[in-house]
Structure 1
């Protein structure tokens, strides 16, 4: 009887033990650290499995590659791809269970591309693009502002042509399916080629009378070389950027500039008009101050027919003093005593001495000089070339250089040190105290 009871008790205990054996349950989850799916990627492991006593983790392509910890924490992936995370869980009851999950690691984005302009940046500009971006599973989208083509999808686009002058953006957008990056570079297309020039004569030729020396100023845009032709000019052709040309004959002369770059060329033409030579320089409305106006630096009393400038006392220096060939002496503001004097005699008439002073002969009074001169105001006004004065006998005489008073219009004849003859017409005598002056026109032979 006792044996029978013990047997029954053993059966009951054994049955209860089998019913309470530990079962391996649950699963593990993975997540991207910082939600970053592109390399380098950190995968976080969250183990929610129960009933296991030991763990064998295998991380394909990861660091670490294996682990026996219940919660291995984080796994680093440095290469793009799809990898399997496997777990074998066991317990003391001999139960074994296998779990696995796949993780997708996307390629990191590090955009590298270059552009190269074929020949030059003059329109049209052809651009070669080289894409050095490294990675698998990436997509590429190109945008070419005002280019042809305007867009392209793929790693390496065809050559792109830009024609419109200005800055144009090249934008490359790279995506790995998780995120996108952009890089932009700029192409600058030079302005369209324009052939253009302006010109001006030398200072001494600004009346455009033959012979005239013309200085050409090249205003062309986007040009790298030039071909000039000058009808009636010397030289007749030139490849200089800014040539200087002499035209010896009066008339109209056509000037042609063909400007080039490595893509195209363009022609611009203009006409130079050269006037007949009068050998006469006409200068109008010249103000010459009395002595006090000059010495007080209000209105100059000294003039150069070479520079065509009036000089006050403080404007005279070693460079211009030797060019002064006309000096007016106005003793007072009432114009009771006036005369034109030779520059080399200026220090005798209330002025400072001039360095390298010129000697000019003046006939202040034609009727007193007894030299047979009677050049009238009408003759002065009618004079359009030097013919009326080149035969005049202008020579020094004490009587001819005598002073004159407040009488105008008045004609004063002169001859410069270099032999040029001229006439001064006093048109007005303006009383203004210490700033009084005479107003003149001057006609003089050219150098």
Structure 2
């Protein structure tokens, strides 16, 4: 690759040391969460295809909650609408953190993963539509989502010596991908909008915003406001997970000057993220996977029959091929637009490997599939099988590509960390334009 001095930005270039440490901490939590997610999905599949499958179906369809408040939901709906609100709250915190105080506040760094994520949404959607013209078009958004916990768990196994820049790119790509998915859910999957509950939700949300802006952390004040906001958004017809995003986005990122300046500890958004990310990755998402992945396959013949459905073909091809084409194409386009280059020591094979992992669509894809076709419908069963099949295929292909590069990454890792000081910061982050203090 050309190393012309006319370029001043490296795609997949190294971020600051503080951001690298922060992302490393996030990825460790997401890796554990991804492993639990996989375990939950496998257990659900085994149970749903066992002689005791009726017990599983009875459990996920059992209703609980106050009917007078329109909250008499099935267990699976509580997982999708309630537990995933925690997941989306963390997404909201992460979105605000990335674009307010993270390395991505620099538009040159932000443009590449943003354009890559947009490409990774458009290409799968177009592929799905091509397979379903005149048919089940409502499922176009299903293959557009990336499951960060699942992808990071595979990444940890496939490439333990990946440079932090690639890991940060995957994390940011997934965060932007989640933002697009949130917009899709809010715009395209909101039926029978009730304005009054939606407007009423602004009251507890406004009080919550006022308190967090004053750096109030008391759970007995904030949690009731969050629950009321969630319940009113749910009653409005907007998917309740949007409430989680809204609550996360109003939490301040920057530390209060009154609290003692930059040495006063983490900001409130980071504080909440540390508290809620383990709950999201370790409890909420795995339970949702357990509730959503239990689809009866009907043996190998049933699997083959399901794969032949246009809906399944659109979802699987969109996840594996569409995500890869869209993410790599978007990365290439954004690199050209910013006058950048691939960082030294890396090449486009790395982008292909990450793009394949971007095709692991699970949590949000399952949610969109349920919203598009309705739980328990034949199309929903085909969608769940297709999501599982496409995600597994994308994971296997991504693993093959990244394992082939892992030996190179190991040498790079050893080189960059050979001169680590007593301060615990590798010298490579204390030279040149790298900022180890931000």
Relative contact order, higher structure (CA 8 A, sep 6+): 2
Higher Cα Rg, which structure: 1
Question: Normalized per residue, which structure has more strand?
Answer: 1
Give TM class, smaller chain.
under 0.3
TM-score (norm 2): 0.17
